[in-house]
């Protein structure tokens, strides 16, 4: 049975002075995660808020264990890349 894992990451961007600043940070983060981990990444919820972002990362695998490892690696990299901007992360499986 295939496993679909979803990681939802909440980001707080206090230094963003415009929506453009915020978009640049989010776009860069999404691109890095896609490239490094071969996952689908999308921004969800409140895309017009200047200082917050909610991003979902999705992976599909033949085993739940492998999907879990991929999402754990994404979460570790997100924390390292975003630093203080990383607020929280929640994993769910479909």
> pTM for the whole thing?
0.92
CA end-to-end span of the chain: 11
Residue 81 has pLDDT above 80, yes or no: yes
14-43 pLDDT, tens digit per residue, is: 999 988 999 999 999 999 999 999 999 999
Block residue for tokens 């915020």: 22
61-72 pLDDT, tens digit per residue, is: 999 999 999 999
Number of domains in the chain: 1
Q: Which domain holds residue 63?
A: 3-93
CATH of the domain at 12: 3.30.70.1120
43-52 pLDDT, tens digit per residue, is: 998 777 889 9
Our measurement of the distance from residue 42's CA atom to the centroid of its chain's CA atoms, rounded to an integer in Å, reads 8
């Amino acid at each position: 049975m295939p496993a679909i894992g979803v990681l939802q990451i909440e980001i707080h961007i206090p230094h963003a002075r415009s929506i453009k600043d915020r978009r640049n940070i989010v776009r860069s983060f999404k691109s890095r995660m896609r490239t490094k981990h071969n996952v689908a990444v999308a921004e969800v919820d409140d895309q017009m808020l200047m200082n917050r972002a909610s991003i979902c990362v999705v992976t599909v695998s033949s085993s739940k264990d492998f999907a879990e490892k991929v999402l754990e690696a994404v979460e570790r990299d997100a924390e390292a890349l975003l630093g203080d901007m990383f607020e929280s992360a929640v994993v769910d499986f479909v």
